[in-house]
Amino acid sequence: MKKLFIFLTIALSSLALTSHAKELTNMRIGVEGAYPPYSWITPEGEMAGFDIDIANALCDAMQVKCKLVAQDWDGMIPALLARKFDAVVASMSITQERKLKVDFTNKYYQVSSRFVAKKDQQFDFSTTGLAGKNIGVQRASTHDKYVSDNYNDANIKRYGSQDEAFLDLKAGRVDLVINNIPALKKGLLEKEGGDQFNLVGPQVSDKQWFGEGVGIALRKNSDDMKAKLNNAINTIRDNGQYKKIQDKYFDFDIYGQ
């Protein structure tokens, strides 16, 4: 009996140590920094934007010290898997294809997408209607996948950042660019010269390409971190912090249905 008591004591002590070792105190979060209004780098070299504020709010809610790590979009998942950071807060849609490689939290926002083009141009958005047109997309994005699957007769030009696609649209090197609507407004339409362009075509949000909203990407088997992040998303929505951040950048409910 005495031996059994000693064994149970040691086992419980080991369990307590393991639990303590898993306590989340620090996180490295991958962010893009080139996708306004979600993230950008200010002239002073500081990170700003909706994703940045959400990441900081979640860390505060979890009482975790966080470090934001800038990463080009098309290398985001490889860098996560290579342990350059622990989580991604960079407007990454929760798609079935990405779920094969990484895990996701619940969504923290959900919006529709559209095309943008110079004014006074007419387009046919049937599957063959954009044949021969030059369409700009951000490389390795849901928009890249959507256009590739639906407009394979078009000339698809892929860019490392959304700003690069906008520059080519302004220069006439592409006919259309597709992205989510707030990104098109903040990144092009509401900037100087943006009055020469407008949104065209239908709003698209098909789950097949755009998933279940935007979530935080994690490596597989990060269950403890996932639970804490999901609780933190609920916390900032319940305590008003989410709405405060949302209203700083948007005039509508970006969380979605």
Residue 21 has pLDDT above 60, yes or no: no
pLDDT of residue 24: 82
Examine residue 240 and state whether it is found in any structural domain, yes or no.
Answer: yes
Burial label for 130, CB within 10 Å (0-12, 13-18, 19+), is: buried
* Statement to judge: residues 238 and 205 lie in one domain: no
- Per-residue pLDDT of 61-84, as tens digits, reads 999 999 999 999 999 999 999 999
The one-letter amino acid code at 166 reads F
Q: Which two tokens stand for residue 107?
A: 């969504």
Burial label for 23, CB within 10 Å (0-12, 13-18, 19+), is: exposed
Give the confidence band of 22 by pLDDT, cuts at 50, 70, 90: low
Examine residue 10 and state whether it is found in any structural domain, yes or no.
Answer: no
Tell me the three state secondary structure of residue 104. strand
Give the confidence band of 2 by pLDDT, cuts at 50, 70, 90: very low
Burial label for 238, CB within 10 Å (0-12, 13-18, 19+), is: exposed
Planar angle of CA 123, 126, 129, nearest 5 degrees: 50
234-250: average pLDDT = 98
Cα gap 64→4, rounded to integer Å: 39
Nearest Cα to 214, choosing from 249, 248, 254?
A: 254
pTM (2 d.p.): 0.88
Residue 12 has pLDDT above 90, yes or no: no
Tell me the three state secondary structure of residue 99. helix
Examine residue 135 and state whether it is found in any structural domain, yes or no.
Answer: yes
* Statement to judge: residues 127 and 190 lie in one domain: yes
Looking up residue 46, the CATH number of its domain turns out to be: 3.40.190.10
pLDDT of residue 20: 37
Examine residue 2 and state whether it is found in any structural domain, yes or no.
Answer: no
- Per-residue pLDDT of 223-233, as tens digits, reads 999 999 999 99
Q: Which two tokens stand for residue 192?
A: 């100087």
Residue 148 belongs to what domain range?
113-210
* Statement to judge: residues 58 and 97 lie in one domain: yes
94-107: average pLDDT = 97
Tell me the three state secondary structure of residue 53. helix
Paired with 109 in beta bridges are 214
* Statement to judge: residues 153 and 184 lie in one domain: yes
pLDDT of residue 16: 41
* Statement to judge: residues 104 and 166 lie in one domain: no
Cα gap 44→237, rounded to integer Å: 30
Give the confidence band of 8 by pLDDT, cuts at 50, 70, 90: very low
Q: Are 204 and 97 in contact (CB under 8 A)?
A: no
* Statement to judge: residues 95 and 173 lie in one domain: no
Residue 19 has pLDDT above 60, yes or no: no
* Statement to judge: residues 141 and 202 lie in one domain: yes
46-50: average pLDDT = 97
116-139: average pLDDT = 96
* Statement to judge: residues 136 and 189 lie in one domain: yes
In order of 11, 45, 229, the CA distances from 23 in angstroms are 19, 32, 13
| Percentage above 70 pLDDT, the chain | 91
Residue 9 has pLDDT above 50, yes or no: no
* β 39-41/34-35 pair status: antiparallel
Cα gap 190→37, rounded to integer Å: 11
* Statement to judge: residues 71 and 136 lie in one domain: no
Examine residue 8 and state whether it is found in any structural domain, yes or no.
Answer: no
* Statement to judge: residues 200 and 216 lie in one domain: no
pLDDT of residue 257: 81
- Per-residue pLDDT of 177-204, as tens digits, reads 999 999 999 999 999 999 999 999 999 9
200-209: average pLDDT = 96
Q: When comparing pLDDT for 8 and 87, which is higher?
A: 87
Examine residue 256 and state whether it is found in any structural domain, yes or no.
Answer: no
Quote the number of domains for the chain.
2
* Statement to judge: residues 39 and 153 lie in one domain: no
Residue 27 has pLDDT above 60, yes or no: yes
Examine residue 254 and state whether it is found in any structural domain, yes or no.
Answer: no
Residue 237 has pLDDT above 90, yes or no: yes
- The greatest distance separating any two alpha carbons of the chain, rounded to the nearest whole angstrom, comes to 87
Average pLDDT of the residues of the chain: 92
* Statement to judge: residues 164 and 243 lie in one domain: no
Cα gap 118→120, rounded to integer Å: 7
Examine residue 234 and state whether it is found in any structural domain, yes or no.
Answer: yes
- DSSP annotation of 149 reads H
